[in-house]
Amino acid sequence: MQRYLVAPRDWIASLGDIAKFAARDFGEVFGLRVFRFFGEALRQAGVLILGSTMVIWSLAFILGLQCGIEGAYFNRSVGAPAYAGVFSAWCDLREIMPYAFGYMMSAKVGTGLVAEIGAMRITDEIDALEVMGISSMTFLCATRLLASFMVLPFMYLAAVGAGFFASYLAVVQQIGEVSSGGFFLIFWMFQNPPDLLYSLIKGMAMATVIVIVGTYYGYTAGGGPVGVGTATAKSMVLNTVMVHLVGMLGTQIFWGANPRAPIGG
């Protein structure tokens, strides 16, 4: 019996550690102590923009194409090819774009953070920072969280745009059973600004979790070069599960009781 309890107990313990770490991290950011290192936060924002934008947008584009063809074929099969816009609008905005963003954030940004900060931990650079009198938590973790808050909403909105464009290409240009005017009439009819806001909240919740998990595993890495690799792998496990759970909770909270569709009275 004891043997089977070891793994769950470890998970709960590390979840508690991550929660404590997250609380400290948020305290640094919202306690405005991070603004002492605002320059570093801006630099991290630049790194995020130059390093990750294209990859995230390209995954959003590919999944937008996927939504488009599935929508076109599904609506053809129910005998309403002109309504492919309904499927694309809901699939892109509400579900697939947050997931695409979460997948690529955890793959590119989350593991990148672990590799970077973990290497600093292994080579004792973090201890060196502390010796110099700089709070490593503020300088390394809080600046990255602030940078992601500054950059990611815009990156997310542009990723949604990339997905919409890809769906348009797939439905109108590739399959070609609906005119572009007919597609966009239905497409915009079935979504409104609050939907975009909810979708953004979903994406940002995923991004916050991913940055926290990434910095936590990097900050607590140990055990030589192998330890960094193992920590990177572990952060990816937690991130993939958390992305799906946040996605489900977001759908349940924002659209669970109210479909927000212009149908019926």
**Closer residue to other proteins (CB): 136 or 235:** 235
CA dihedral 62, 196, 74, 60 (to 10 degrees): 0
Q: Give CA–CA dist 149/208, Å, rounded.
A: 8
Tokens read off for 249: 């909770």
Least Cβ distance, residue 2 to other proteins (angstroms): 18
Answer whether 156's CB lies under 8 Å from 203's CB. Answer: yes
Shortest distance (Å) from residue 78 CB to other proteins: 6
Residue 193 or 264 with smaller CB distance to other proteins: 264
Nearer to other proteins, 189 or 261 (CB): 261
Q: Are 172 and 180 in contact (CB under 8 A)?
A: yes
Phi first, then psi, for residue 261 (nearest 5°) are -120, 145
Nearer to other proteins, 35 or 47 (CB): 47
Instruction: Kindly list the residues in this chain that would bind other proteins in the complex (CB under 8 A).
Output: 55, 58-59, 62-63, 65-66, 69-70, 73-74, 76-78, 86, 90, 94-96, 99, 103-104, 106-108, 111-112, 114-116, 118-119, 122-123, 224-226, 228-233, 236-237, 239-241, 244-245, 247-248, 250-252, 255-256, 258-259, 261, 263-264
Contact (Cβ atoms closer than 8 angstroms) between residue 68 and residue 168: yes
193-219 helix and 97-104 helix, angle to the nearest 10 degrees: 20
Nearer to other proteins, 45 or 228 (CB): 228
- Quick count: other Cβ atoms within 10 Å of Cβ 108? 18
Closest separation in Å from C-beta 103 to other proteins: 6
Choose between 61 and 183: whose C-beta lies nearer to other proteins. 61
Q: Least distance to other proteins from the beta carbon of 264, Å?
A: 5
Distance CA 231, CA 236 (A): 9
Closest approach, Cβ 12 to other proteins, in A, equals 14
Q: How far is the CB of 115 from other proteins (least distance, A)?
A: 3
CB of 70 to other proteins, least distance (A): 7
**Using CA atoms, how far apart are residues 29 and 23, in angstroms rounded to an integer?**
10
- Shorter beta-carbon distance to other proteins: residue 23 or 241: 241
CB-based contacts of 38, cutoff 8 Å, min separation 6: none
Spatial neighbors of 126 by CB under 8 A, at least 6 apart, are 117, 120, 136, 140, 219
